A = this chain, B = another copy of it.
Amino acid sequence: MSNRQTRSKISLRVMHGDSIAIGPGKADLLEGIRDTGSIAAAGRAMQMSYKRAWLLVDTMNACFKEPLVLTSKGGASRGGAELTALGEDVLKRFRAMQKTVEASVECEMDALVDLLAD
């Protein structure tokens, strides 16, 4: 894969009305929360403020029938957070959709990348 192709990629988002229910950033954040047990730590690893990370979680939780992330209060570290069963499920589904989408337009994307500036 050339350097140019590495820099260019397809980005997939699932819109729910005007909100992004889930997209690449929110999926990365879910993985970070799953791995660190903390919204703050997951956000930090993505160079994101706690407020921003919390807002993304809040949007996801509001877009789905049930929350994707549960938080527990208390402690000096602003409490913990974990994915719900629905959170794990949505993350898995979105990652699978990303792979399917990338494969479905691989040739078209290669051709488009050739038209992009260096």
Residues of A within 8 A of B (CB): 7-17, 20-21, 23, 62-65, 86, 89-90, 93-94, 96-97, 100-101, 103-105, 108-109, 111-112, 115-118
Q: Which of B8, B20, B103 touches A21 (beta carbons < 8 Å)?
A: B8
A97/B93 contact (C-beta < 8 A), A11-B13, A12-B10 known: no
Q: Which of B8, B20, B116 touches A65 (beta carbons < 8 Å)?
A: B116
Which residues of B lie under 8 Å from residue A13 when comparing CB positions?
10-11, 13
A115/B89 contact (C-beta < 8 A), A11-B14, A13-B11, A15-B9 known: yes
Q: Are A97 and B117 in contact (CB under 8 A)?
A: no
Write the nearest CB–CB distance from A33 to chain B, whole angstroms: 18
Q: Are A17 and B7 in contact (CB under 8 A)?
A: yes
